[in-house]
């Protein structure tokens, strides 16, 4: 007699551009791993403007708040004009203060001779991304960098607690306190207080520009990194470049009781609908979601299948140097999952 599996209620934001294609791919992989999901599909982004007159409808916020977990496709953000970032709006509305990006060479195409396995914890709610800008005079614009003890402390707590639970060794705080002595100085003071609560971990500090150079030259020295919003955004993309690009790096935005999982690449409108989008980053983000839900067995199988799939260097999409379509890549990955049952 078969036992009916528990169905998880999860919000799904398909997103713009290639978003619907890559989230559909992730759903196929999740189902193949034996996870039953009742998806609640809700709109956001440029596509939501036509039907809801807003890029972030209230129903979307309420769905994620109710279900506690969401999978999200990439959303379009205009550059220099138009509507503000929906990603930032979603994080602020749900207080998703911790952006987590694991970067592993075993899950990508490493451009470095040494293995890379680091995790970035980026503060997600303030800094220059607070969006406090104004024109103070003709030809002069001003942006305000907001750093608070509360936000700095809780992102530090997230980083150190994760490092402790996952038996990591070192946490680096990345800063520019030699120049921004008040704002980045407060960030460092807050992180140091948290570091003192974790004597089992080695705590180090590094200036952001030196950090960028060291990551390119000697990335193996980094284990867990905690950064403010702007530095975290830039450094996490740099790290993605070391292992094959944003197409193979997952991401999560986590608050106290709500989590949104998403790939960190753009919506790629130039290839939307052509069937050649790389779904791996979204699949890896969905796999982070499974772990968050406690489905470690299923997540382990998917991760092992991805490593096996990538090791063969076949059925890759054009951005990874291949000629496969999205569906062909997903079908090949699903066959690996089936092999590992």
Q: Any idea which residues carry the catalytic annotation?
A: 129, 176, 209, 233
Contact 114, 215 (CB under 8 A): no
Q: Determine how many CB atoms are found less than 10 A away from the CB of residue 117.
A: 16
Residue with tokens 């005079």: 137
The pair of three-digit structure tokens given for residue 138, joined into one six-digit string = 């003709």
Q: Which residues contact 196 (CB under 8 A, 6 or more apart)?
A: none
Closest Cα to residue 253, out of 130, 69, 85?
Answer: 69
| C-alpha to C-alpha distance for 82 and 4, rounded to whole angstroms | 48
Closest Cα to residue 93, out of 127, 59, 119, 118?
Answer: 59
Q: Print the SS3 string covering 100-139.
A: EEEEEHHHCCCCCCCCCEEEEEEECCCEHHHCCEEEEECC
| C-alpha to C-alpha distance for 45 and 76, rounded to whole angstroms | 6
| C-alpha to C-alpha distance for 253 and 88, rounded to whole angstroms | 11
What H or E segment, with its residue span, contains residue 36? strand 36-41
Residue 78 burial (C-beta neighbours within 10 Å; 0-12, 13-18, 19+): exposed
């Amino acid at each position: 007699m078969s036992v009916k599996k528990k169905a998880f209620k999860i919000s799904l934001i398909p997103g713009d551009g290639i978003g619907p294609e890559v989230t559909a791919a992730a759903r196929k992989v999740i189902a193949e791993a034996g996870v039953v999901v009742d998806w609640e599909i809700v709109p956001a982004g440029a596509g939501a403007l036509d039907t809801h007159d807003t890029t972030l409808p209230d129903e979307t916020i309420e769905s994620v708040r109710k279900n506690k977990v969401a999978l999200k496709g990439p959303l379009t953000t205009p550059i220099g004009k138009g509507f503000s970032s929906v990603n930032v709006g979603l994080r602020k509305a749900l207080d998703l203060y911790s952006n987590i990006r694991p970067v592993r060479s075993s899950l990508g195409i490493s451009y470095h001779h040494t293995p890379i396995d680091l995790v970035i914890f980026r503060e997600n709610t303030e800094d220059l991304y607070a969006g406090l800008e104004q024109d103070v005079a003709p030809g002069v614009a001003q942006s305000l960098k907001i750093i608070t003890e509360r936000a700095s402390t809780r992102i530090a707590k997230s980083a150190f607690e994760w490092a402790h639970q996952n038996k990591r060794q070192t946490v680096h705080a990345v800063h520019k306190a030699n120049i921004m002595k008040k704002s980045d100085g407060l960030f460092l003071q807050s992180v140091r207080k948290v570091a003192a609560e974790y004597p089992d971990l080695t705590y180090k500090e590094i200036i952001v520009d030196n950090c960028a150079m060291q990551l390119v030259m000697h990335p193996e020295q980094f284990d867990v990194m905690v950064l403010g919003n702007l530095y975290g955004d830039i450094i996490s993309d740099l790290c993605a470049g070391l292992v094959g690009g944003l197409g193979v790096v997952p991401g999560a935005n986590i608050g106290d009781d709500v989590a949104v999982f998403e790939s960190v690449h753009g919506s790629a409108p130039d290839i939307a609908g052509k069937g050649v989008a790389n779904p791996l980053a979204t699949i890896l983000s969905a796999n982070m979601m499974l772990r968050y839900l406690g489905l470690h067995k299923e997540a382990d199988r998917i991760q092992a299948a991805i490593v096996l799939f990538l090791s063969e260097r076949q059925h890759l999409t054009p951005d990874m140097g291949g000629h496969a379509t999205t569906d062909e890549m997903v079908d090949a990955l699903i066959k690996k999952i089936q092999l590992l049952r």
